[in-house]
Amino acid sequence: MDHFAERLLAWFGEHGRKDLPWQQDKQPYKVWVSEIMLQQTQVTTVIPYYERFMQVFPTVDELAAATQDEVLHQWTGLGYYARARNLHKTAQIVMRDFNGEFPGTQEELESLPGIGRSTAAAIIAICTNQRAAILDGNVKRVLARVFGIGGWPGQTATLKALWEKAELLTPDQRVADYTQAIMDLGAMICTRSKPQCNACPFSGECHAKNSDSIAQFPGKKPKKEKPVRATTMLVIECDGEILLEQRESSGLWGGLWSFPESDDPDSYLEAAGLDAHSRIPLTPFRHSFTHYHLDISPLHIHVKVPNRVSDSDRTCWYNLETPQSIGLTRPVTRLLDALQSSPLFQ
């Protein structure tokens, strides 16, 4: 399509977003944090997390010096926690290997934990205005629809075709604006559902619109039934404090704090030296991950004071009145919110 970049930039000049928090001071550190947070997460969700994160960790050296618990605490509720763990690791590498300065090449950026080809390109383009093509979820959707690139983007051939188109269209000038513009077009106009085609600068030439096949682009991931797993979470309470355990560093909830899990509560309590005073089953609920559903059956257990487990590196008593700054899993925050207004904790 002729003059794609020019038309997109003209649209951006009139309609694009220019007041997002990370656009005000385009330092590599701030752009990097925003790009990691925006992976698989909408802008409206990210903004308050980003602003709080920057208040606590305004510079890369402060992030590197923080504990993993402190980082995960600021990430609690944002999901995909590997992003936070990689963020922390990368900050430490930048301080150790790059003298506190983010590397200035795409290849070096891609060598850092959690930074892939598109994220590295976005940092380079936005911060230095060097030519670098991006291909996040919004861009994939725009290119697939406008140019009729069929197939699921997770397939090798489809992804290759999308990258080739992204590389071809990226201009040599105003690369930072172009990068923000094509992301904005996907986020604001060419949305996953109910796109505003009449407001799109490419509606006249859009393959998907003109062939009345918008819903077919981009192609859907082949459906696969998610398996269902089940667990019993032990909400062990003593004098208004809740026993939590820290997860191993790997896995979906790596490094986060959660309730102990056991299908045999008696054995767990005996091993921990805890004496149950009462047990009350709480309302079961489902927590869904990308690849499976987890059915959770919470069991509130009130224990007597004398046998209380001491805090350790892997366990802690979480104080509801003065909560510690630690990273919590989503089921924990959900249950704690519900329980704090429950008669059980009055």
Helix (H) or strand (E) holding 278: strand 276-281
The token pair at 31 is 């752009």
Residue 248, token pair as written in the block: 């191993």
Q: Number of C-alpha atoms within 13 angstroms, CB side, residue 190?
A: 28
- At 236 the three-state DSSP class reads strand
- Catalytic member of 14, 35, 245, 270: 35
Residue 338, classified by CB atoms within 10 Å of its CB into exposed (0-12), middle (13-18) or buried (19+), is middle
Which is nearest to 72 in space by CA: 249, 211, 238?
Answer: 249
Q: What are the tokens at 125?
A: 């383009």
How many Å separate Cα 82 from the centre of its chain? 8
Give the residue carrying structure tokens 């590498």.
93
C-alpha to C-alpha distance for 217 and 162, rounded to whole angstroms: 12
Q: Counting beta carbons within 10 angstroms of the beta carbon of residue 188, is it exposed (0 to 12), middle (13 to 18) or buried (19 or more)?
A: middle
Beta bridge partners of 93: none
SS3 content of the chain, % helix, strand, coil (to 5): 45, 15, 40
Assess whether 248 carries a catalytic annotation.
no
Q: Is 330 exposed, middle or buried (0-12, 13-18, 19+ CB in 10 A)?
A: middle
Q: How many helices (H) and strands (E) does the chain have?
A: 14, 7
CA angle in degrees (0–180, nearest 5) for 305-258-246:
90
Cα separation, 302 vs 295, whole angstroms: 23
Residues with catalytic annotation? Answer: 35
